[in-house]
Structure 1
Amino acid sequence: MTSSQSAVSYSDQQLSKSYQQMSREAQEMKRRRRRRFQSQVTVEETDLMSNVEQEADNSKRNSEESDVVLNNQQMIQQMVLATMIQQKRKVKDSAVGLTISKDDVIISIGRNCEQQP
């Protein structure tokens, strides 16, 4: 083997080693990217699940609050209706009382007129 052949052989070996080293580094970079991507996906999934859970909690809370508001509105409507019924009864009772009082007054006036002559 001549010195030029050994230099070419050494150069080929160096190129082969460099290529293998670059190939290993490229594979390692791919692994790192995959891990980083997987961790990002996991974080995004976790965030997404957290957001979904928060939305579900908010929806449940809003639903419960809506139920409470609806129940309060129904109670208020019932109270207003009961108050209106009571007021109508009072008006009706007082109107009957006025009519009776009016009749009594008319009768007593009529009696007074009859008694005077």
Structure 2
Amino acid sequence: MKTLSIALILLACSTFARESLAGPTVYTRQHDVLAAAIRNGSSSGVMEGEVAEHFTRQFRSTGPLLVTAKVIKSFSRADCKRLEMVFTKKDVDTPQGRTDAILKTQLNYCLDGTPPISVE
């Protein structure tokens, strides 16, 4: 029994270490961030691809684009939620110095990618 307990502890530690070394989740589509938040209550990571390129051009910053999403309200349809999504563009130069640009938005969204129609 003691050997089994030690083996389970070692397995848990190696899984945690592997996940820590993997780094943040990388998203290339907003849908994936929103779907993960609907399934798990929240999601976060680094956005790459077309959305990140737009932020890079807009803010003239090569810093990473961080993204988070969280459920702020549930609807009767379990696959539809009201979500808050936050984009943080790092290392934006402003007249006051380098800072982060933050865009917060809320939206109603379903796992199939459509907005819910009369979900309340």
Give TM class, smaller chain: under 0.3
TM-score by length of 2: 0.25
TM-score by length of 1: 0.26
Determine which structure has the larger helix proportion and give its number. Answer: 1
Higher relative contact order (CA 8 A, sep 6+): 2
Bigger Cα Rg? 1
Determine which structure has the larger strand proportion and give its number. Answer: 2
